Structure 1
């Protein structure tokens, strides 16, 4: 069924779904089915079906069946920071990339969440003959990469969304993500790309820095040292009394 408005048409089911999303967005602590149905004028069966679809798509979540609905981070993941904010972040993080790349001798890069991927927005390449080449503009899946795991560990809602979208992939990498949450940094010890290892630290829930290079130069203890150095360099440039974006 469609509702016709001027100057265009609105599909009623789409309108209802967005109305529910907007209502949930007003309640950071979550809101229950009965309140959503009554507030939107929908019968509970219709509201439940729409909410089930939104949950399956990863835009809302419940801690358990029958609990309140709340937004995940998926909507935020669809949006990149505006150009001015991203430029400011890159300018502030650039010295960190340069410092950790020089100290480690490996390539350093900055990635931002972009849906179920991360987007490389800046990189400093190693000057060693054999190194990992990372190019700004490259998109990589969050699951399976140290930088992605650092971001998933930093953002519970993003984790809920990715887990709902790819439960098998999440299960396969759950320990690495849990380790990243516990440690405050993520490691990839030659597990995803043969001969390449990586350490990554989240700057914010939507941005992270990584160092990567040949595994023979990056044993686990060395990666841990590099992760700690990334955190120290970030502390030097962290804004006082304001957010990164």
Structure 2
């Protein structure tokens, strides 16, 4: 990441912790920057409309622009969930297993929607569950689909990345990621990226999900997504 971008976001985060506003001196000292550098970065953020000063020399405060961006992002995610919900239901019904949709959040993924299998023995997946991207089929599908996300995760934990690099490469080559009874005893999973930051997974007992069946389900998920994909290829 460019150092200036990293520093600018650091300043934004520091301002966010001061609802009453933060002055140049405390921002510069907290970020370990000289005041001239901090002032230039703050001036850029102010010019972009993300922060403001009531008057020259006053404390810096966040504007509503970030909140507006967050609302737009939330609306886009809601629209994606609504579009994918029928796919989750259809795939769950066809496979007889639990299906779920998750979004990448930093180096983790967050489950945002799920359809539970009606079989007595099944994997219970609940919206709100969060897991690391590395080591999970769903995470590997996302990492294979987004080079920037992969770079972030690899930099965060290079040793763990190397242990799973082949699985991620396989996911990129095949268009889906597999987890064959490796992360949770007795459970296997297949996952397909919907967008670079969202993916669908089907998971259940390994006794019902041998590798050949996981591959078939992965192909069926891709076909189902192709049928509902917007004409402009843009989900969000």
Q: Which range, TM-score by smaller chain?
A: 0.7 to 0.9
Residue 233 of structure 2 corresponds to residue 235 of structure 1: no
Residue 119 of structure 2 corresponds to residue 128 of structure 1: yes
TM-aligned CA deviation for residue 12 of structure 1: 2.8
TM-score normalized with structure 2 length: 0.73
Cα-to-partner distance string for 1:56-93 (whole Å, 9 max, x where unaligned) = xxxxxxxxxxxxxxxxxxxxxxx797222111101100
Gaps of 5+ in 2: 1-19, 45-69
1:215 to 192, 206, 231: 206
TM-aligned CA deviation for residue 191 of structure 1: 0.7
- Take 1:210 and 1:244, find their aligned partners in 2: how far apart are those partners? 18
Within a 5 Å distance, the mapping from 1:1-245 to structure 2 comes to 8-10=22-24, 11-12=27-28, 14=31, 16=37, 19=41, 82-241=73-232, 243-245=234-236
Mark the CA change 1:144 to 1:91 in structure 2 (over 3 Å): closer, same or farther.
Answer: same
Query: What count of residue pairs does the alignment treat as equivalent?
Result: 184
TM-aligned CA deviation for residue 142 of structure 1: 0.4
Q: Is the 8 A contact 1:80 1:114 kept in 2?
A: no
RMSD: 2.4
- Take 2:213 and 2:175, find their aligned partners in 1: how far apart are those partners? 16
- Take 2:125 and 2:162, find their aligned partners in 1: how far apart are those partners? 27
Q: Is the 8 A contact 1:149 1:176 kept in 2?
A: yes
- Take 1:81 and 1:242, find their aligned partners in 2: how far apart are those partners? 19
Mark the CA change 1:80 to 1:122 in structure 2 (over 3 Å): closer, same or farther.
Answer: farther
Mark the CA change 1:159 to 1:91 in structure 2 (over 3 Å): closer, same or farther.
Answer: same
- Take 1:241 and 1:215, find their aligned partners in 2: how far apart are those partners? 37
- Take 1:134 and 1:87, find their aligned partners in 2: how far apart are those partners? 19
- Take 1:7 and 1:146, find their aligned partners in 2: how far apart are those partners? 43
TM-score normalized with structure 1 length: 0.70
- Take 1:109 and 1:80, find their aligned partners in 2: how far apart are those partners? 23
Cα-to-partner distance string for 1:180-226 (whole Å, 9 max, x where unaligned) = 01111100000111000000000011000000000010000100000
Gaps of 5+ in 1: 1-5, 23-78
